[in-house]
Structure 1
Amino acid sequence: MKNEKPTQRKQNIKKLLLKITMLLLILVGLLIALYPFYVDSLNGLIDQKRIEQAQKKSVEETNALQQKMTAENERLQKNGLNPGADPFKDEKKVESTQAELIGSINIPKININLPLYDETTTDVLEIGAGVLQGTSFPTGGKSTHSVISAHSGLPNRLFFTDLEELKIGDQFILTVLDKKLAYQVDAIEVVMPDDTSSLTIQEGRDLVTLLTCTPYMVNSHRLLVTGYRIPYNEAVQATESKGNQWRVLRYVLILVGVLVATLALIYLAYRLVYHHQLSKKIFDFSFTVLDTSEAPITETTFRLMQKGRLVFREGEPVEATSDPFGRVEFKQLPGGQYQLVDVSHNDSRIKFGVKKKKESAMLFISRRKRVKQLAIGKRKFIVE
């Protein structure tokens, strides 16, 4: 075993750096392109944990929240709704307070299940949906109208981005303090940010309006999707369960897919570096070709291939011919794996080489094992 020549070493380093740079560019491009998907999936799984925690509130906490929301709804029934400032206007950022997580909003049609907070603040809009101040709390009951706000078009979260896909007759489900409330869409409208004329209590009706910005990335108007209360029956429950299963599966598949792709590219970069280190070691490889009677096979020419392509040296294919003793010798081969091709039997390829840096000599490779002898047809190959 010898060391490679300085000129060849420089060329190999340049090739290695070029390949690694290409892999890094592919990896960075992949992570940038898939950023909205894997970040939304990761946040989605975190949201599910938040929602589960909300369902573990103590009886005392649940009762206190229920009483607070019921009292506020009764007050609004008497005085009417008074929606606060448009929560999406930059110049009217709602002062952040300690919002209370009260449940979740599930929209099977667009595969989302968001944490639901008891008010809409700047902080809440970054992590989920919130009840718009001055509207009813979504606890169910006649003569109530709750408005639930969430962002659209965030780079790292879907939230209400696909809300415009909802049609009349679609359903959404609220889970508030462990109580399931189902609603069916019966009104969809686009209004100016300061138009709250439709956000009123309708006598005897239990309504919920979903509020977000529209159109996508312009945000000059507000999309209002209103639904009325329907029974939470087995059909609604089945739709919700199916949506939950598909959503979680989607999150997991996206995260696993991105992780596998990232690890694969990192592994390829590692293999490139490893093979470069291996190729810095130079080997001579010689073997003898015998027939079935142990007589040497002479005047047989073998050509060298690597990765399915002929190996060239100074513009000529690297080849060697067996001498009167059946001996074949290749000199100055960089470490790695090769294939021998008998010029007279072009369809037959014999693998040989080194796989690991600690290996000190090239051997034949058969079924992933390194061997000194190899029998192919009526010929025997023996490494010297």
Structure 2
Amino acid sequence: MRATARKTRWGWSQSIVMLIATIGIVVLIYPTAASWFSAWSHDTDVDGYVQSVEQIPDEAVDEMLAAAEEYNENLPTGPLRDPYALGADGQQTAIGEGASAYFDTLAAEGTDTMARIRIPRIQVDLPVFHGTDEETLSRGIGHLYGSSLPVGGAGTHSVLTGHNGFVQATLFDDIDELVEGDVIVVSALGEDLYYEVDQTKTVLPDDAEDLRQVAGKDYLTLVTCTPTGVNTHRLLVRAERIDAPTEDSSVVTIADTTDPAGFPWWALLVAGVPVLTFIVVMPRRKSRNRSGRRATHLSADSDS
């Protein structure tokens, strides 16, 4: 009975040790694992978007781009709202009137991605979606409703928003590292638009003056909250349209292919800890069992 009780206690102890070790490792690598899954999801969205666009006939692409340009021409020139603003109920304000036309423009069949943004300096390659609600911003970059659609043109100003310091993903975490002259590429329906950073500003959430359209200018502005985790202000990184690079240009052409998320080495760690714990603990258990049996035999021999 005592031997059975000891075995039971030892079995529970072994299980608890393995469980605690596994939980500890999972907690430690969660940010890395979450970021990997997010990067994999972003790659999937971007690849799906590229493939969907490739299936669209050239004539249809021209019509979709023309519709987006017409949409931009009809945009009002009033102030834009803060993409992270909440209503009295604590929820983000819905787009409301005009939502249908907005979501239907730049909508390629088979994907809900509207564009793609690449920033070589900080290794960003992310999908862009319509709107800036929380669900959208948890998936990637959101296009601010009311700003110009990202198809370029004189008098347009497209605003793209993204989180930073987001545990589940790396989005606009490093745009504060961008400086004047850095290049940003936005691709919509296969058209690559090159922009060069010309201004970085930190403003209050209700100050949207720098997001207005400017006659004759083709602007793109990236928006994120700052400081990270405090979010009392907004960081605006503005870029102005430049010509696409040529062979003699100092601007490097951006490749259309995506870089895969890479092998999740952290998964080996998660799987390896329980196995390692089992390997270390089991010999001790067997050693104790042998010692117990030896002591029993010695006791029996002495009694005889």
> TM-score scaled by structure 2?
0.76
> How many Å apart are 1:11 and its aligned residue?
5.6
Partners of 2:47 and 2:258 within 8 A in 1: no
Give the aligned partner of residue 349 of structure 1.
Answer: none
> How many Å apart are 1:140 and its aligned residue?
1.7
Distance 2:193 2:212 in 1: 20
SS in 1 for 2:237: strand
Give the aligned partner of residue 310 of structure 1.
Answer: none
Q: Say whether residues 1:130 and 2:138 are aligned partners.
A: no
> How many Å apart are 1:273 and its aligned residue?
6.6
SS in 2 for 1:198: helix
Q: Which has the higher contact order (CA 8 A, sep 6+)?
A: 2
Q: Say whether residues 1:181 and 2:193 are aligned partners.
A: yes
Q: Deviations over 1:244-282 (max 9, x none)?
A: 54xx3xx324x2x11110111122244357546755874
Q: Deviations over 1:301-320 (max 9, x none)?
A: xxxxxxxxxxxx89xxxxxx
> How many Å apart are 1:332 and its aligned residue?
3.4
Give the aligned partner of residue 153 of structure 1.
Answer: 165
Partners of 1:81 and 1:136 within 8 A in 2: no
Give the aligned partner of residue 332 of structure 1.
Answer: 294
Q: Single out whichever of 108-117 and 52-61 deviates more from structure 2.
A: 52-61
Q: Say whether residues 1:90 and 2:86 are aligned partners.
A: yes
Distance 2:78 2:9 in 1: 70
Structure 1 unaligned segments of length 5 or more: list them: 283-312, 315-330, 334-384
Give the aligned partner of residue 241 of structure 2.
Answer: 229
Partners of 2:128 and 2:141 within 8 A in 1: yes
Q: Say whether residues 1:170 and 2:182 are aligned partners.
A: yes
Correspondent of 1:43 among 12, 18, 38: 38
Distance 2:182 2:132 in 1: 24
Higher relative strand content: 1
> How many Å apart are 1:223 and its aligned residue?
0.7
> How many Å apart are 1:20 and its aligned residue?
4.6
Q: Deviations over 1:340-364 (max 9, x none)?
A: xxxxxxxxxxxxxxxxxxxxxxxxx
Structure 2 CA distance for partners of 1:123 and 1:178, relative to 1, 3 Å: same
> TM-score scaled by structure 1?
0.62
Q: Say whether residues 1:252 and 2:265 are aligned partners.
A: no
SS in 1 for 2:84: coil
Q: Single out whichever of 88-97 and 107-116 deviates more from structure 2.
A: 88-97
SS in 1 for 2:68: helix
SS in 2 for 1:266: helix
Partners of 2:115 and 2:150 within 8 A in 1: no
Q: Aligned partner of 1:332: which letter?
A: R
Higher relative helix content: 2
Higher Rg: 1
Partners of 1:82 and 1:135 within 8 A in 2: no
Distance 1:332 1:68 in 2: 87
Partners of 2:195 and 2:239 within 8 A in 1: yes
Provide the alpha-carbon RMSD of the alignment: 3.3
Give the aligned partner of residue 195 of structure 1.
Answer: 207
Q: Deviations over 1:21-74 (max 9, x none)?
A: 344323222222221221121121121121122221323764453233111211
Give the aligned partner of residue 32 of structure 1.
Answer: 27
> Map of 1:257-272 to 2, 5 A cutoff?
257-271=265-279
Structure 2 unaligned segments of length 5 or more: list them: 104-111, 296-304
Structure 2 CA distance for partners of 1:225 and 1:194, relative to 1, 3 Å: same
